[in-house]
Amino acid sequence: MKVRVHVSLKSGVLDPQGRAIHHSLEGLGFAGVNDVRAGRLFELDVDESVTDEALDDMCRKLLANMVIENYRIEKVA
């Protein structure tokens, strides 16, 4: 089973990397970009036996830092 875990910074947490990327987009002449937030994507290949609860646990214990980040689990196939 393929699973994608999207990790993003919580709103209100400063994102210097997103800001630098935003600045660079503006430098390339792209207009109308209001904000950029950088995040992370993990692609996991897991056995069918792996439960939703276990996936959730993986996110909370390692893939995301719950102090600053949110996560979203997406089952691909």
Partner 1 sequence: MSFRSAVVTFPGSNCDRDLAVALEKISGNECIRVWHGDADLPDNLDFIGLPGGFSYGDYLRCGAIASRSPVMRAVIDAANRGVPVFGVCNGFQVLTESGLLPGALLRNSGIRFVCRDVTLKVENAQSLFTSGYEAGQEISIPVAHHDGNYHADAETLDRLEGEGRVAFRYVGEVNGSARQIAGVLNAAGNVLGMMPHPERAIDAKHGGTDGRALFESAIRGLVGA
Q: Is residue 62 involved in binding partner 1 (CB under 8 A)?
A: yes
* The one segment of 24-32, 44-52, 60-68 that binds partner 1 by CB under 8 A: 60-68
Instruction: Please give the structure tokens belonging to residue 40.
Output: 């992370």
Q: Is residue 24 involved in binding partner 1 (CB under 8 A)?
A: no
The residues facing 42 across adjacent strands are: 5
Lay out the sheet containing 2-9: strands in order across.
Answer: 39-45, 2-9, 69-75
User: Is 13 strand, coil or helix?
Assistant: coil
Q: Is residue 27 involved in binding partner 1 (CB under 8 A)?
A: no
Q: Is residue 44 involved in binding partner 1 (CB under 8 A)?
A: no
Interacting residues toward partner 1 by CB under 8 A: 13-14, 16-17, 20, 61-63, 65, 67-68
